[in-house]
């Protein structure tokens, strides 16, 4: 019989960035729920320890009993860990100018309640929930959703710690702030979040641990050999402009305020990632799941990033195999949690659990 010690169940698994971090920390992802076909197959290719195939179904139609059974947990056995990142579209900073997003009308917002439903019914010894940091914004979409989420965690019988972790502060070569909530049953030690291992300047502020500098994009991509991709060439009316932008710059290079002799754009008239180029001496800016045709970050060699490069900037292993089209692979990576950040969160949470569970 396979041991269920350290068993983890994963919701909204995506490509498995959070799951990979859990595995690296010594947990064993035994069951996963992921609606997207490409991401589900990606999970199955890279997580041979799954007790059953990925449950490729809407979480709304998937019972907790079915998830526990898929993990090989029976007769009231509890998982050591519940992990997951419900889709973030209702609260993502990207596109927040849309009134329906600001008003909290996106149906995906209810998926937070599916997480707390499984938390309440599965009764894991610990949980880790990840989401966009915009969920903490004090507006009419995010604030009520966060209050409801924390109330449901409390009513499920769990104490918790909540915080925003900046991926670059943990050795990830990407500036990617994410919300983490970690917890355990009331009456047991409450997990906390790990302290930063790296530091530097982010948005003109010093953050993290200054004793160890951020990992840069050049350091992350050093030694990587990968074939060119047909989609990497930027096309369209703005394509010729990319070569003139210095590393780390964006469309603002072509504004009067930056001293351009023939300004093409008004100051702050575009989103910040428009024609954004990587600076090899800094971490990558946040890499989006579904960037527009002129949305970066682009490589300092004036092209789109290749999939192998994006994997490096997210700290996925080079051998990690993604399934689907080029756009699908970008979406899977752009929606994922950097495994290196996830591993440090899970290693820290593990310290608070009884040895008998892990």
pLDDT digits (tens, 9 = 90+) for 207-221: 999 999 999 999 999
CATH code of 7-205+337-350, in short, is 3.40.50.150
* Residue 225: closest CA among 326, 301, 303, 309: 309
Q: Rounded CA gap, 287 and 329, in Å?
A: 12
88 is catalytic: yes
pLDDT digits (tens, 9 = 90+) for 246-275: 999 999 999 999 999 999 999 999 999 999
Mean pLDDT over all residues of the chain? 93
Burial class of residue 185 (count of CB atoms within 10 Å of its CB; 0-12, 13-18, 19+): middle
Q: Where are the domains of the chain?
A: 7-205+337-350
- What is the DSSP code string of 150-193? HHHHHHTTEEEEEEEEEGGGGT-SB--EEEEEEEEETTSPPP-P
| Mean local confidence (pLDDT), 37-63 | 97
Q: Measured between alpha carbons, how far is residue 338 from residues 15, 271, 280, 331 in Å?
A: 11, 24, 19, 14
Task: Give yes or no for residue 102 having a pLDDT over 60.
Answer: no
Q: Indicate yes or no: pTM above 0.85.
A: yes
Positive or negative, the CA dihedral 136, 140, 141, 143 is positive
Q: Rounded CA gap, 276 and 280, in Å?
A: 13
Q: Rounded CA gap, 197 and 166, in Å?
A: 11
Positive or negative, the CA dihedral 317, 345, 336, 47 is positive
Model pLDDT, residue 3: 65
Marked catalytic residue, from 8, 71, 83, 88: 88
């Amino acid at each position: 019989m396979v041991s269920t010690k350290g068993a983890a169940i994963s919701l909204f698994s995506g490509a498995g960035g959070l799951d990979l971090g859990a595995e690296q920390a010594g947990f064993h992802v035994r069951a996963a729920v992921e609606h997207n076909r490409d991401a589900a197959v990606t999970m199955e290719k890279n997580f041979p320890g799954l007790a059953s195939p990925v449950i490729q179904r809407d979480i709304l139609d998937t019972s907790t009993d079915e998830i526990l059974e898929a993990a090989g947990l029976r007769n009231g056995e509890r998982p050591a860990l519940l992990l997951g990142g419900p889709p973030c579209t209702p609260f993502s900073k990207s596109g927040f100018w849309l009134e329906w997003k600001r008003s909290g009308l996106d149906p995906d917002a209810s998926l937070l309640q599916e997480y707390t439903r499984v938390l309440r019914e599965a009764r894991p010894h610990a949980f880790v929930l990840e989401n966009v940091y915009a969920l903490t914004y004090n507006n009419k979409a995010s604030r009520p959703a966060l209050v409801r989420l924390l109330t449901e965690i409390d009513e499920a019988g769990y104490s918790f710690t909540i915080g925003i972790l900046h991926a670059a502060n943990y050795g990830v070569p990407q500036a990617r702030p994410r919300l983490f909530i970690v917890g355990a049953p009331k009456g047991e030690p409450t997990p906390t979040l790990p302290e930063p291992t790296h530091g530097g300047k982010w948005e003109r502020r010093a953050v993290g641990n200054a004793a160890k500098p951020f990992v840069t994009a050049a350091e992350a991509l050093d030694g990587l050999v990968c074939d060119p991709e047909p989609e990497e060439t930027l096309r369209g009316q703005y394509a010729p402009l990319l070569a003139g932008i210095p590393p780390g710059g964006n469309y603002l290079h072509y504004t009067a305020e930056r001293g351009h002799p023939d300004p093409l754009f008004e100051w702050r008239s575009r989103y910040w990632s428009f024609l954004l180029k990587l600076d090899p001496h800094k971490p990558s800016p946040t890499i989006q799941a579904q960037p527009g045709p002129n949305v970066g970050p682009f490589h300092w060699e004036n092209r789109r990033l290749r999939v192998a490069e994006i994997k490096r900037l997210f700290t996925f292993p080079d051998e990690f195999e993604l399934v689907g089209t080029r756009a699908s692979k970008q979406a899977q990576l752009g929606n994922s949690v950097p495994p290196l950040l996830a591993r440090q969160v899970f290693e820290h949470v593990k310290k608070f659990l009884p040895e008998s569970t892990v």
